[in-house]
Chain A
Amino acid sequence: MATPASNTPTSTVSISAGGRSVGRLLLQSGTVVALILLIVFFFAMRPDVFLTFTNVRNILYQVSILAIIAGAQTVVMVVGDFDLSVGATSALAGAVTGALLIGGVPIPMAIIVGLIVGLLIGVANGLLIAYLRLSAFVATLATMTSVIGLAYLVTEGTTLFNFPAEFNNLGQGRFLEIPLPVYFAIVISVVLWLVLRFTTAGRRWYATGGNAEVSRLSGVNVKRARFIAFSVAGLVSAIGGILLAARLGSASAVQGEDNMMFSVAAVFLGMTVVRSGVANLGGTMVGVAIIGVMSNGLNILGVNAYVQQVLTGLIIIAAVTLSSLKTRER
């Protein structure tokens, strides 16, 4: 019986090419493979718990707000920037909505004002970055600082609560046993995906992120594209913040502040999913899923919170390294 070693030189070449293609495939789909491996690992460790309906629903509920904010971050990262103020914007939008609700403003009006607040912060970021040419890092760091201050002013440093039950139901209610924020996250993600994939605006964002100068010379209004991307990010972050206030039944100035860091991490993780290595919504959702599965799985295994933080950082480093390897390969 012939062994692979006794094959002809031609077949040896084909094995080598096959090995390279397997390596490439692993590199290409490393993040998705990582997600699958995490699921398999946690399922193997706790088969009685991990993939039960209750726990899967639990994971989806926990990542729903992050998914929305990571969607906002994806839009900005598609145009080649990033937004440090998404967490602060969401906190302020939630706080404004909460303060208005406590003041007796009808729920739809309070939500609309909260959304407008988020949109205005996005508009301010867009103006500073697209038209005044500030770096996204400096501009969004500055707006983040001011927005946190505004949130403290709105909440007077306390936690706002006692919202109407109908409002809290937006974050705590269920439809077909699935929490409503999960549906909101799915709808917003699908809308953002459609915009990025099938609209002129989406293509302009990708073109701007790919090479702003070439895009400009090709007739793309780069400034407007970046301005709109930041405005959309502000608005979508506000949706996340309002839903978080409804989910917790309260609002504070620093609520959900870790969403900024995790949203950037999710987008970076997602960038490794596609061959081009650019931000994309599907990839971001894979990134969000990795973060959610990691956190839930490690909690179920009773792993210390500090160890969890170390592991999360390592996963992000691994993903970014993978992404840079892919870029080099291109």
Chain B
Amino acid sequence: MRTRFKALAALAAVAALTLAGCSSPSGEPAPGGEPAGGDEPFKVVAFTSGNQTPIGAWWVKAMDAKAKELGWDMTMIQGDFDFQKMNPAVESAIGQGADVVVDGYTDFASIGSIVTAAKDAGIPMFAIDSGTEPSDAFVLNITTDQQGIVDQTLGAFDKALGGLAGKTVMVIGHDPHAGIRLRASLAEKALKAAGAEIANGEIQKVESPATGRTEALKLVADYLAAHPDGLDAIWVGWDDAALGAAQAVKEAGSHAVVSGVDATSEAIAGIQAGGAFLATIEQPWPSILDDLIKQIEAYRADGTLPSNNFEAVQANLVTKDNAASITPSDKLG
């Protein structure tokens, strides 16, 4: 009996410590869904499913810093790509009262129940990179211009290869990520329009971002084994997989060039090394976050909502010429 009591007490202590550790540093939000006014703290419910990615992890830290600076009472919910866990937690936080909800890097397709909860409570949702097209889910979603990303990377190919017509290009995408899915299909379309041939006739799909590098490495290595010197370029939707593609090119002794998106330190180092990795894309997340915060603060001040619910910001091409001046996306904070 005594042992059982001790075990129960220990369990309770662990649970209490865990709950204390998991709670928001800015304190528990007060109940009610009224807009902020007077001396009441501005209550923000922020969430991201991508907190385990370098950019998601930066965003969590950056939001925390902004909340402290602006005196927000912010609850940050981190979902680890587990919507079954994250969505109810966000809905519960909304139910306890908030002035705005902020979505970081989580596609609106995955958060339908959160959107409904926020609408029911009359709370506006702001978002950063949470969909590639306008959606009524948000009063504002700022992301990067996917067509611009494609135009710039293919422009780099065009320059390096002396034109795209007649060239064989492999396109590697990942369907579950809305941004990658869109830009891969835009790349495929643009390449076909430019007269290039798509390797294997369609976009090559990587199944898991966690194994993106090895999957891309295999895809390219197998293709080059079957078609030695059969690739002129490999367009990849994100850097980690692009690094695998570049390694396969190097190992096969191919002359193909590779582009990625994200501007991670490793990709930038690869570009600077002058190997197969030709270019990547820097997405200006810090300035995008600043713009988003401005809009949230405008709403906080007098209830002004953004005039458009979608903004696509121009991203920057990173090549050997400017690689040294770029802050890698995994070193943002």
The minimal Cβ–Cβ distance linking A148 to chain B, given in whole angstroms, is 9
Could you mark each residue 146-171 of chain A with 1 if its beta carbon is under 8 Å from any beta carbon of chain B, else 0?
00000010001111011000000000
Are B222 and A161 neighbours in the complex by a CB distance under 8 Å? no
Q: Is A175 an interface residue (CB 8 A)?
A: no
Which residue in B205, B206, B243 is a CB contact (below 8 Å) of A250?
B243
Looking at A10-18, A49-57, A191-199, A227-235, the stretch in contact with chain B turns out to be A49-57
A46 to B230, CA, bound (A): 15
Which residue in A58, A159, A254 is a CB contact (below 8 Å) of B222?
A58
Are A248 and B247 neighbours in the complex by a CB distance under 8 Å? yes
Given contacts A248-B214, A257-B208, contact A300 B222 (CB under 8 A): yes
A77 to B54, CA, bound (A): 36
Q: Which B229-285 residues sit within 8 Å CB-CB of chain A? A: 240, 243-244, 247, 251, 264-266, 269
Q: Which residues of B contact A157 (CB under 8 A)?
A: 52-54, 57
Q: Which residues of B contact A156 (CB under 8 A)?
A: 57
Q: Is A323 an interface residue (CB 8 A)?
A: no
Q: Is A317 an interface residue (CB 8 A)?
A: no
Q: Which residues of A contact B226 (CB under 8 A)?
A: 46, 49, 55, 299-300
Q: Is A172 an interface residue (CB 8 A)?
A: yes
A61 to B251, CA, bound (A): 11
Q: Which residues of A contact B330 (CB under 8 A)?
A: 158-159
The minimal Cβ–Cβ distance linking A294 to chain B, given in whole angstroms, is 12
Are A62 and B218 neighbours in the complex by a CB distance under 8 Å? yes
Q: Which residues of A contact B92 (CB under 8 A)?
A: none
Are B200 and A161 neighbours in the complex by a CB distance under 8 Å? no
Main secondary structure of the interface of B (DSSP, over half): helix
Q: Is B210 an interface residue (CB 8 A)?
A: yes
Closest to B174 in A: A305
A231 to B219, CA, bound (A): 34
A156 to B60, CA, bound (A): 13
A61 to B247, CA, bound (A): 13
Are B52 and A152 neighbours in the complex by a CB distance under 8 Å? yes
Closest to B211 in A: A258
Q: Is B223 an interface residue (CB 8 A)?
A: yes
Given A296-B225, A299-B222, 6 more contacts at CB 8 Å? Answer: A58-B225, A172-B251, A250-B243, A255-B210, A257-B210, A295-B218
- Give me the interface of A with B, judged by CB distance under 8 Å: 46, 49, 52, 54-55, 58, 61-62, 152, 156-159, 161-162, 172, 248-250, 252-258, 295-296, 299-300, 302, 304-306, 309
- Listed A/B pairs (26) with beta-carbon separation below 8 Å: A49-B226, A52-B225, A54-B225, A55-B222, A55-B225, A55-B226, A58-B225, A62-B218, A152-B52, A157-B54, A158-B265, A158-B330, A159-B54, A159-B240, A159-B330, A161-B265, A162-B269, A248-B213, A250-B243, A258-B210, A295-B218, A299-B218, A299-B226, A300-B223, A304-B202, A305-B215
